[in-house]
Amino acid sequence: MLLRQPWVMPLVRICLVSAFLVGGVSKLLHFDAAVAEQVHFGLQPGWLWAGLAIFVEIAGSVCVITNRFTWLGAGGLAALTLVAMMVANNFWRLEGAARFMALNSFFEHLGLIAAFVMVTYLASGERRSRV
């Protein structure tokens, strides 16, 4: 069975966090743009929120990929995603096509948070089964 191949779960973990890892590195390399993004969404001070986002995106991704402190990495990424949902996908304030797009993105992010809960649960089961 494909799911039992030893390379599948590491690949799935990499895919799950790929947007965060790429985003964190990109923000690090373009810190001024990362600060401007935070300010655009009303998060002040922008440099603090950008730095926090970079740290969580990179460190959280590494935790999930390496399957070490998965609960902490996935939890941080889920919290960051929740903040982004509330700030950037505020569909309740929009109308028309903008509301539709924000609503869709809101629920995509909600699904991503659920995936982080699942990866944490699976990681804890892997640890129990190895003991």
Q: CA-CA distance, 36 to 6, in Å (whole number)?
A: 42
Phi, psi of 109 (to 5 degrees): -65, -35
Question: Alpha-carbon dihedral of residues 92, 116, 83, 109, nearest 10 degrees?
Answer: -30
Mind listing the pLDDT tens digit for each residue in 11-68? 999 999 999 999 999 999 999 999 999 999 999 999 999 999 999 999 999 999 999 9
Sign of the alpha-carbon dihedral angle for 65, 66, 68, 73: negative
Question: Alpha-carbon dihedral of residues 123, 124, 130, 131, nearest 10 degrees?
Answer: 160
